[in-house]
A = this chain, B = another copy of it.
Amino acid sequence: MLEIILIGSGNLACYFLDKLYSNEKLKLKGLYTRKKSFDCPKNLKLYKSINEIEKADLYIIAVSDKSIIEISKSLKVNSGCVVHTSGSIEMNVLNKFKNHGVIYPVQTISKKNKLNNDSFPFLIESNNSSSRKIIEDILNISKANYHYFSSEKRLITHLGAVISNNFVNHLNYFSKKILEEHNIDFNILKPLIKETTYKINKYNPIDVQTGPAIRNDISTIKKHQKLLSNSNFIETYNIISNSILKLYSDEKL
């Protein structure tokens, strides 16, 4: 049975912990975290020091981007494959390990908010065929969907994920804030938000654009600008409206 050791205790580490611990066909051997207290499941070994980490087939470093290099400096591994889980860090930061790679989930994962849908893709990378085999075997056993991507393509996908998730979420924060400042319940926009996603899933975003900027409706844009008081909101509103105006006027040329 393939043996795995997990390093980390953040959002992503807890996701892997949950998935791997409950999989009867894989053996999650232990977990190491620099955190002083961690609520480890029964029967799972919690290593007190990085030097105590045992032999395993796969070591998953699921820590913040900033800590990957630091952790990999201290980690002593003779056999098995070491991976990190970052969207934006190159695989070769793990060069000191004979077998290494990456397992990056294209998903927004946080401990406090359970995922609604578990069928998202992982982007994998490996330095040789034996690393690749271990990574693929474990993802196949976990029934996960994965694609082999270079570090460069992974970084581009990560940029797309930041735009489509982090930025979209921030825009919705911004929209909720404006409504609530005027005692309007944000729920009024939820059917629209659902439809927006439905359309992005079904159509090309460039073909379903609506709103004042695409119609070159400067009068409505000016009315909106007057309602905005927060400088970040004003800048965001102007930049995106100008970008839409420019894109669709260029299109007409």
Binding site for B on A (CB under 8 A): 11, 64-66, 88, 106-110, 112-113, 115-117, 119-121, 123, 147, 149, 152-153, 155-176, 178-179, 182, 184, 186, 188-215, 217, 219-220, 223-224, 227-228, 232-233, 235-237, 239-240, 242-244, 246-247
Is the pair A178, B156 in contact by a Cβ cutoff of 8 Å? yes
Across the interface, do B65 and A217 meet the contact criterion of CB distance under 8 Å? yes
Roughly how many angstroms separate A173 CA and B219 CA in the complex, as a whole number? Answer: 25
Q: Which of B112, B173, B205 contacts A205 (CB 8 A)?
A: B173
Instruction: Report whether A211 and B166 are in contact in the complex, using a CB–CB cutoff of 8 Å.
Output: yes
**Interface core residue of A109, A200, A215, A224 (most chain B CB under 10 Å):** A200
Determine how many copies of this chain the complex contains.
2
Which residues of B lie under 8 Å from residue A178 when comparing CB positions? 156, 159-160, 163
Tell me the complex Cα distance, A202–B166, Å. Answer: 16
Residues of B within 8 Å of A194, CB to CB, are 116-117, 197, 201
Contact A106 B192 (CB under 8 A): yes
Q: In the docked arrangement, what's the CA distance between A215 and B134, Å?
A: 31
Instruction: Tell me the bound Cα distance from A174 to B200 in angstroms.
Output: 12
* Chain B residue contacts of A208, Cβ below 8 A: 108, 110, 113, 169
Once the chains bind, are A157 and B173 in contact (CB under 8 Å)? Answer: no
Instruction: Report whether B165 and A211 are in contact in the complex, using a CB–CB cutoff of 8 Å.
Output: yes
Q: Do A88 and B201 contact each other (CB < 8 Å), given the known contacts A107-B192, A182-B153, A195-B107?
A: no
CB of B65 within 8 A of CB of A108, answer no
Q: Please, which residues of chain B bring their CB within 8 A of the CB of A237? A: 163
Q: Which 6 A-B pairs have the closest CB atoms?
A: A166-B211, A120-B191, A173-B205, A232-B243, A163-B175, A197-B197
Q: Verify B107–A166 contact, CB threshold 8 A.
A: no
B236 touches A164 (CB 8 A): no
The CA of A247 and the CA of B164, in the complex, are separated in Å by 19
Query: When chains A and B are docked, how far (Å) is the Cα of A219 from the Cα of B158?
Result: 14
Q: List 13 A-B contacts (CB under 8 A).
A: A65-B219, A108-B199, A155-B224, A156-B182, A156-B227, A159-B224, A160-B178, A160-B179, A162-B212, A163-B237, A167-B240, A235-B239, A236-B239
Residue of B nearest to A235 (CB): B239
Cβ–Cβ < 8 Å partners of A182 in chain B: 152-153, 156
Cβ contacts under 8 Å, A172 to chain B: 163-164, 168, 200, 205
Contact check, A224 vs B162: say whether CB atoms are below 8 A apart.
yes
A191 to B, closest residue via Cβ: B120
